[in-house]
Amino acid sequence: MSKRPAQSQSSKQRQLRVGELIRRTLSDMLNRAEIHDPDLNRMSITIGEVSCSTDLKVATIYVMPLMGTASVEEAVAALARNAYELRRRLGKEMTLKYAPELRFLPDLTFDRLDETRRLFADKVVQRDIAAKDEDEDGDGDGA
């Protein structure tokens, strides 16, 4: 079994830069309603994050519709339906050797944030946090 070579820091930085460039470019395209799909143009979609594969040939795009304009599933389906046109336009606007394959997934960041807030608001968790704070305060005074 051969091990995969470790990814260099510069390679990771390039993935992040390309991902951010794709995010901004796609956001601009969606804001300008350049895609010929009335369903997609009617939606207001936020692109939260774009993560690129190490070879930059696949971009996973995390999206969330704004203010109830559509469900997450409808937004992902509309973007997936228009992935070819989005990829083609992305290739024209960006100076990459290859326009990456676009894969759209729901952005679950806000759901995770709500769940974290709910957990921190739980009485049992609050009691544990308070008990830990008291233990830390007590350790510094003795010895």
Domain borders along the chain are 9-107, 108-143
Radius of gyration from C-alpha coordinates of the chain = 22
Question: In whole angstroms, what is the distance from residue 103 CA to residue 59 CA?
Answer: 6
- Nearest CA among 85, 71, 78 for reference residue 104: 78
Q: Give the mean pLDDT of the chain.
A: 83
Distance between CA 103 and CA 100 in Å, rounded? 9
Confidence of residue 143 (pLDDT cuts 50, 70, 90): very low
Three-state DSSP at 1 gives coil
Q: What is the DSSP string of 113-139?
A: HHHHHHHHHSHHHHHHHHHHHHHHHHH
pLDDT in tens, 124-139: 777 877 777 777 766 5
Closest CA to 102 of 59, 73, 62: 59
The CATH number of 9-107 is 3.30.300.20
pLDDT value, residue 34: 85
Class of residue 39 by CB neighbours under 10 A (exposed 0-12, middle 13-18, buried 19+): middle
Residue 84: band (very low, low, confident or very high) from pLDDT cuts 50, 70, 90: very high
Report the percent of the chain where pLDDT is more than 90. 40
